[in-house]
């Protein structure tokens, strides 16, 4: 009579072992399918550490310094989102300059780890602390020409050496290639704080709020760049007291070509009033 319970326990252990083996096989098969569909970035089970210069979240002080419109720091920070095809999932990470500019690092990482059919669509959103230089703009255009299914939207906190004609032309070429370039607004700052910053518990509402006028001045200059107008914004910094000065020098072409709502937002023109 004692042999029956032991036999029953043996069969029970065998069934549990079979179930666990099937379960782990299913998990490995699922991860393999995900990896084939998108590469290592979607491999949730990959034990490999992120490449140098890349990580999921940044610290609050990094976000404050890197994305402050009045801080003219040399370091460039990139926060990015990737969405594949019709999937609802968004994959996020961040990067900084290494020996290359962060835009080049992203392109090299993307092309080395992604092997997908050209018909697969991919939406990429960048949040850059500085706009791309002319060399990075050229590399981005080459990357997009080789990946026609990729769309790119770029939000920038500051304009990198915007008086340089090569940089201005580089941004125009990007726009003409189908890239959307906009200055970051309050909405983008809040989005980045929520999704990319390792803020302490309870500090969700303590995201940086920069004066709207600074953001609009950069937006004004970006419109000048895209429209091929002369520079209207000059930025200087006094090292003694670390003050940043924004100066506007507008010409008639600026008033004629820049959208009216941009001029109204910066206070450069007054809204027209009809009296009855």
Provide DSSP, 54-115.
EES-B-HHHHHHHT-TT---S--EEEEEEEETT----EEEEEE-SSS-HHHHHHHHHHHH--
Longest dimension (CA), the chain: 107
Please state the pTM of the whole predicted model. 0.74
- Using the Cα atoms of residue 162, residue 164, residue 168 and residue 174 in order, give the sign of their dihedral: negative
Give the pLDDT of the chain (276 residues) as one tens digit per residue.
445 555 665 656 655 555 545 444 444 444 333 333 333 343 333 334 444 445 578 888 889 889 988 887 888 999 999 998 777 888 888 888 888 899 999 999 888 876 666 667 889 999 999 999 999 999 999 999 988 889 999 999 999 999 999 999 999 999 999 999 999 999 999 999 999 998 888 777 877 888 887 888 888 889 889 989 888 888 877 665 567 777 777 778 777 777 777 777 666 665 554 444
SS3 content of the chain, % helix, strand, coil (to 5): 45, 15, 40
The pLDDT score that the predictor gives to residue 7 is: 61
The pLDDT score that the predictor gives to residue 30 is: 40
Q: Retrieve residue 188's tokens.
A: 């983008």
103 part of the active site:
yes
d(CA 122, CA 163): 33
The pLDDT score that the predictor gives to residue 165 is: 94
The pLDDT score that the predictor gives to residue 8 is: 61
The pLDDT score that the predictor gives to residue 10 is: 61
The pLDDT score that the predictor gives to residue 87 is: 76
d(CA 209, CA 188): 11
- Strand ranges (E), 100-208: 122-128, 150-156, 180-183
The pLDDT score that the predictor gives to residue 240 is: 56
The SS3 of residue 214 is helix
Active-site residue identified among 81, 103, 188, 221? 103
C-beta separation of 216 from 184 below 8 A: no
Who's near 221: CB < 8 A, 6+ residues apart?
159, 162, 231, 232, 233
The pLDDT score that the predictor gives to residue 222 is: 92
- How distant is the alpha carbon of residue 99 from its chain centre? 20
């Amino acid at each position: 009579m004692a042999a029956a319970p032991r036999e029953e326990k043996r069969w029970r252990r065998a069934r549990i072992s079979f179930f666990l083996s099937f379960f782990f096989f299913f998990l490995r098969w699922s991860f393999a399918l995900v990896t084939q569909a998108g590469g290592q970035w979607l491999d949730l089970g990959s034990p490999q550490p992120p490449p140098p210069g890349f990580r999921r979240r940044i610290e609050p002080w990094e976000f404050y310094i890197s994305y402050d419109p009045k801080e003219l720091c040399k370091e460039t920070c990139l926060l990015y989102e990737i969405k594949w095809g019709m999937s609802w999932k968004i994959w996020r990470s961040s990067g900084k300059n290494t020996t290359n500019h962060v835009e080049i690092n992203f392109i090299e990482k993307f092309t080395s780890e992604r092997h997908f059919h050209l018909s697969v669509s991919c939406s990429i959103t960048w949040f850059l602390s500085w706009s791309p230089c002319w060399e990075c703009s050229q590399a981005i255009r080459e990357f997009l020409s080789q990946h026609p299914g990729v769309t790119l939207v770029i939000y920038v906190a500051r304009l990198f050496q915007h008086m340089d004609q090569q940089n201005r032309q580089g941004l125009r070429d990007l726009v003409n290639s189908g890239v959307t370039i906009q200055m970051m607004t309050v909405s983008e700052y809040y989005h980045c704080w929520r999704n990319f910053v390792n803020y302490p518990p309870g500090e969700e509402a303590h995201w940086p709020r920069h004066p709207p006028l600074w953001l609009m001045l950069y937006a004004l200059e970006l419109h000048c760049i895209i429209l091929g107008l002369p520079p209207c914004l000059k930025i200087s910094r006094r090292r003694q007291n670390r003050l940043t000065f924004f100066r506007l020098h507008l010409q008639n072409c600026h008033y004629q070509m820049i959208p009216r709502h941009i001029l109204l937002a910066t206070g450069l023109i007054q809204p027209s009033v009809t009296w009855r």
